[in-house]
Amino acid sequence: DAGVTQSPTHLIKTRGQHVTLRCSPISGHKSVSWYQQVLGQGPQFIFQYYEKEERGRGNFPDRFSARQFPNYSSELNVNALLLGDSALYLCASGTGEVWEQYFGPGTRLTVT
Amino acid sequence: DAKTTQPPSMDCAEGRAANLPCNHSTISGNEYVYWYRQIHSQGPQYIIHGLKNNETNEMASLIITEDRKSSTLILPHATLRDTAVYYCIVRAYTGTASKLTFGTGTRLQVTL
């Protein structure tokens, strides 16, 4: 079975630009969560969507937004990029249970 | 969610048991202990979780003290592939809201 897929793998953007990251969950999973992982730190929770409804939001500015589509795939959008947004962005799909979350390989975003 | 404290790093010889401690002295009665690990350049991977009884699965064992203020993850026969950052997370059951709060974890280095 295919795991969680994320695209693109790597991305380089300039300060002030906008970026869209994509995540395809494992078939049958209705929950998608997004995490930001800065080098040397643990992942930080950004959003969770379950059945296309937002179920949680982390302590991130309004420049960060997300949505989930009817096929349960998801997009994370970040506007007005800052240097500090450079990180690995991880997507996790699951059934909604804490112990049933499967992480994708991540998108490495570099903001210059 | 209760705060957790883990040693920043540990070493273990291949074939020996790796015992990773976690302190969660402020844990509440309805909070579970979860363990995830992150192998370099990959997304986190679920290992095991428990409430108050000791738990074992094909990957590891989880020992929770009687007062639930600390726990130990045991990898019975560590291999080089177990080299990773291990995260101890305390989280109440909240249905389909499955946010994970990662700390900085314990970096386990398994050596020959």
Q: Residue range B10-31: average pLDDT?
A: 95
Tell me the CB-side half-sphere exposure of residue B49, using CA atoms within 13 A: 19
Q: Residue range B84-101: average pLDDT?
A: 86
User: What pLDDT, on the 0 to 100 scale, is given for residue B97?
Assistant: 77
First to last CA, chain B: 37
Query: Among all residues of chain B, which has the CA nearest to that of A6?
Result: B43
Indicate if the alpha-carbon torsion angle B92, B57, B70, B78 is positive or negative: negative
Best A23, A53, A98 member to test B by mutation, with max B CBs in 10 Å, is A98
Mapped onto helix, strand or coil, the DSSP state of residue B82 is helix
| Alpha carbon distance B86, B22 (integer Å) | 10
**Contact with chain B for residue A99, Cβ under 8 A:** yes
Chain segment A24-80, per-residue pLDDT in tens: 999 999 999 999 999 989 999 999 999 999 999 999 999 999 999 999 999 999 999
